[in-house]
Chains A and B, each alone.
Chain A
Amino acid sequence: MKLVVEIAKTHLLAKPKQTVVAMLGVTFGIGMFIALVSLMTGLNDFTEEVTMTSSPDIHIYNDITENRPSILDQVNQTGLNIVHHQKPKKETARLRNALQIAEMIRRDPRVLGVAPTLSSQVFYNYGPLELPGSIAGVDIIEEDKLFDLRSKMKAGRIEDLLANNDGIIIGTGIARKMNVKLGDRIVITTPQGHTMPLKIVGLFQIGIGTIDNVRSYANISTVQTILQQDQTYITDINIKLFDLHQAKAIAPEFQAMVGYKAEDWETANSTFLTGVVIRNIITYSVSITLLIVAGFGIYNILNMTIINKMKDIAILKAMGFSGSDVRQIFMIQSLVIGFIGSIAGLCIGYTLSYLISQAPFDGGDMVSLDHFPVNFDTKYYITGIVFGVLTTAFAGYMPSRKAAKIDPIEIIRGQ
């Protein structure tokens, strides 16, 4: 073993209590960092996953609420036109040439899948009960490719929808509220007053109350029939990209290309995603604070050690140890404290995360959760140990440099 390592080891072992206290500072810092990060990123991933399953990467639709130029503006383009109380034009949500648009987008190499759908506000009637909601007419196989619907099914199979032209798959929230089961028939009423009885062939649960309580799926042709529209009536095009983080950049491109509103998932779910940002800020600020406190602890202890060991340092230098040898002795001590403390911190962090993941948690009506979602990604464990060792190295560096600069004559003559 190298001599400086041996001296550092003897110093650490000579005052075990002090060493352990210094390590505990790092241990708790890293442990809390791991526990916090695991829980927060677990929540973030859960949020992201449910938003991903509930909304497409890019959603193209006809935004009829968007401001449109008045007819006067079209005729008299250079004049100053003022039109008071312009009434909305009678306009349907139809996307013109929707199937051609879908085909065009499908050819884009960045696009994984495209699903043209049509959706409408409806009422679900069962006996005297009436619930508002929305029905989506989909090609269920395409829809499954985009949103992994199959894994969300609580009863029935998605293929049952293809076999039943009057079938419907409803959210578990609707089923619970209306007290209906697989095989029951419910009546759908559109805003235009058309009605149609449909047979429940499946139940799904995405995990967000606002979706499970309102949405249902049926075949495109079924919904077109209910709405009494023709076979080209499509209101929405849902797009899945290979890289969902490109959505924000690609959406305006599609909007310009097709002439309809193209909304990316980040904009559509901005309220959800604000939570993610805030959680990240909290996690990292708390963790960094904890580590800085631990760093100050190490700085203090090493400083004290060095003041106590002035004489030893002086004699080591007189006997032929260079400044860098002395610095190494103290750097090794702080790195050992940092490394062992961090490893112990990772263990504590893992234990805490595991306990949190086992704790029962009722997500309420909004989200369907029975346990806290916890992320056990090794990435955060590596971050933790790197961060822990770096903090201690930094905290140890300044006292070590001071030790290296000690002038032995001053100490020896000062006695």
Chain B
Amino acid sequence: MEYVLKTRGVTKYFYEPEKFKVLNDITLEVKHGEFLSLVGKSGCGKSTLMYVLSTMDTDYEGELEISGELLTGKDQNYLADFRNKYIGFIFQFHYLLPEFTALQNVMIPAMKRGKYSRQEVQERAYEKLSILGVKDQALKVTSKLSGGQQQRVAIARALINDPDIIMGDEPTGNLDSYNTQLVFDILTELTHTYKQTIIAVTHDEEFARKSDRVVEMSDGKILRI
């Protein structure tokens, strides 16, 4: 299968404060192992598009297909399960659960999936943490970690179920240049070594320039692919 993600004519409206077309007939195809950046001015709809692609937002017209499966019209519980298996998330803020250790945070999506035993999940979580260079922080409560460490733990969490697609909303938006570079390198390695697909919304022009493919949006339409 060549394409991991396809959309056909995705259109979405905002109704508050008045009816407004945020996404206008978006058709997009993303290949396996591609590192794609979504760029554009504030309010152009790039984040909105990403949340539609992530299956979290179901209020749109058109069709969305991921890993060969049509997801439009599926119910929330099915989509939650689907996200758990096939999609990993990295946000501008880490969104780690503050009461849990780094290791537990990474383990939670895998435990939810229930594919491996606790022992195996723990081994895999350690492995992901060591790829991201934060293995030594595994047993600390996440609220005690630095910003860069937290973001790396969050990436490890996104990777734990070996998702087909990793979605990022400003994944480096809150990091200094050193950590930005680090995160970028990790993401690049994931696409090239592990053939995972990355779709990231970004403001960072340098980040966008270095990615495989840049999709620029304006007023709810794709300008340049």
Chain A residues with a Cβ under 8 A of chain B: 3, 6-7, 10-11, 13-14, 311-312, 314-325, 408-409, 412-413, 415
Question: How far apart sit A412 and B154, CA to CA, in the bound complex (Å)?
Answer: 14
Question: How far apart sit A6 and B111, CA to CA, in the bound complex (Å)?
Answer: 11
Enumerate chain B residues within 8 angstroms of A312, measured Cβ to Cβ. Answer: 95, 97-98
Question: How far apart sit A413 and B54, CA to CA, in the bound complex (Å)?
Answer: 13
Residue in A14, A413, A415 whose beta carbon sits within 8 Å of that of B99 in the complex: A14
| Minimum CB distance partner of A413 in chain B | B47
A321–B97 touching, CB < 8 Å? no
| Minimum CB distance partner of B81 in chain A | A320
Q: How far is the CB of B142 from chain A (nearest CB, A)?
A: 11
B81–A3 touching, CB < 8 Å? no
| Minimum CB distance partner of B99 in chain A | A14
A412–B169 touching, CB < 8 Å? yes
7 closest A-B pairs by CB: A320-B84, A14-B99, A315-B95, A322-B77, A322-B80, A3-B111, A319-B109
Enumerate chain A residues within 8 angstroms of B80, measured Cβ to Cβ. Answer: 317, 320-323, 325
Additional A-B contact list (7), CB under 8 Å, known A315-B95, A412-B91: A10-B104, A316-B108, A318-B54, A319-B108, A320-B81, A320-B112, A409-B57
B113–A409 touching, CB < 8 Å? no
A3–B83 touching, CB < 8 Å? no
B56–A408 touching, CB < 8 Å? yes
Enumerate chain B residues within 8 angstroms of A318, measured Cβ to Cβ. Answer: 54, 56, 83, 89, 95
Q: Within 8 Å of chain A (Cβ to Cβ): is B93? A: yes
Can you name 7 A-B residue pairings with CB atoms under 8 Å?
A314-B95, A316-B97, A318-B83, A318-B89, A320-B112, A323-B77, A409-B51
Q: How far is the CB of A256 from chain B (nearest CB, A)?
A: 68
Residue in B76, B98, B112 whose beta carbon sits within 8 Å of that of A319 in the complex: B112
A413–B100 touching, CB < 8 Å? no
Q: How far is the CB of A118 from chain B (nearest CB, A)?
A: 81
With A320-B85, A324-B77, A409-B56 in contact, is A10–B99 under 8 Å at CB?
Answer: yes
B95–A311 touching, CB < 8 Å? yes
Digit string of B156-197 for contact with A (CB within 8 Å is 1, else 0)? 010000000000010000000000000000000000000000
Enumerate chain B residues within 8 angstroms of A413, measured Cβ to Cβ. Answer: 47, 51
Q: How far is the CB of B175 from chain A (nearest CB, A)?
A: 15
Q: Within 8 Å of chain A (Cβ to Cβ): is B92? A: yes
Enumerate chain B residues within 8 angstroms of A6, measured Cβ to Cβ. Answer: 111
Q: How far is the CB of B114 from chain A (nearest CB, A)?
A: 8
Q: How far is the CB of A334 from chain B (nearest CB, A)?
A: 17
Enumerate chain A residues within 8 angstroms of B51, measured Cβ to Cβ. Answer: 409, 413
Question: How far apart sit A6 and B92, CA to CA, in the bound complex (Å)?
Answer: 27
With A10-B100, A408-B56 in contact, is A321–B91 under 8 Å at CB?
Answer: no
Question: How far apart sit A320 and B83, CA to CA, in the bound complex (Å)?
Answer: 5
Q: How far is the CB of B58 from chain A (nearest CB, A)?
A: 10
With A324-B77, A409-B57 in contact, is A319–B89 under 8 Å at CB?
Answer: yes
Interface residues of B in 69-87 (CB under 8 A from A): 76-77, 80-85
| Minimum CB distance partner of A324 in chain B | B77
Enumerate chain A residues within 8 angstroms of B76, measured Cβ to Cβ. Answer: 322-323
With A412-B91, A413-B51 in contact, is A320–B100 under 8 Å at CB?
Answer: no
| Minimum CB distance partner of A323 in chain B | B76
Q: How far is the CB of B198 from chain A (nearest CB, A)?
A: 16
With A321-B80, A413-B51 in contact, is A11–B111 under 8 Å at CB?
Answer: no
Question: How far apart sit A320 and B85, CA to CA, in the bound complex (Å)?
Answer: 8
B47–A415 touching, CB < 8 Å? no
Interface residues of B in 21-54 (CB under 8 A from A): 47, 51, 54
Q: How far is the CB of A310 from chain B (nearest CB, A)?
A: 11
Enumerate chain A residues within 8 angstroms of B92, measured Cβ to Cβ. Answer: 415
Q: How far is the CB of A7 from chain B (nearest CB, A)?
A: 8
B99–A322 touching, CB < 8 Å? no
| Minimum CB distance partner of A312 in chain B | B97
Question: How far apart sit A10 and B97, CA to CA, in the bound complex (Å)?
Answer: 10
Q: How far is the CB of B101 from chain A (nearest CB, A)?
A: 10
Enumerate chain A residues within 8 angstroms of B100, measured Cβ to Cβ. Answer: 10
| Minimum CB distance partner of A10 in chain B | B99
| Minimum CB distance partner of B118 in chain A | A1
| Minimum CB distance partner of A311 in chain B | B95
Question: How far apart sit A412 and B201, CA to CA, in the bound complex (Å)?
Answer: 14
Q: How far is the CB of B13 from chain A (nearest CB, A)?
A: 15
Q: How far is the CB of A306 from chain B (nearest CB, A)?
A: 14
Question: How far apart sit A321 and B157, CA to CA, in the bound complex (Å)?
Answer: 14
| Minimum CB distance partner of B114 in chain A | A3
Question: How far apart sit A325 and B84, CA to CA, in the bound complex (Å)?
Answer: 13
Q: How far is the CB of B156 from chain A (nearest CB, A)?
A: 13
Enumerate chain B residues within 8 angstroms of A13, measured Cβ to Cβ. Answer: 99
Enumerate chain A residues within 8 angstroms of B104, measured Cβ to Cβ. Answer: 10
Q: How far is the CB of B94 from chain A (nearest CB, A)?
A: 9
Q: How far is the CB of B17 from chain A (nearest CB, A)?
A: 16
Residue in B47, B81, B109 whose beta carbon sits within 8 Å of that of A322 in the complex: B81
Question: How far apart sit A412 and B97, CA to CA, in the bound complex (Å)?
Answer: 14
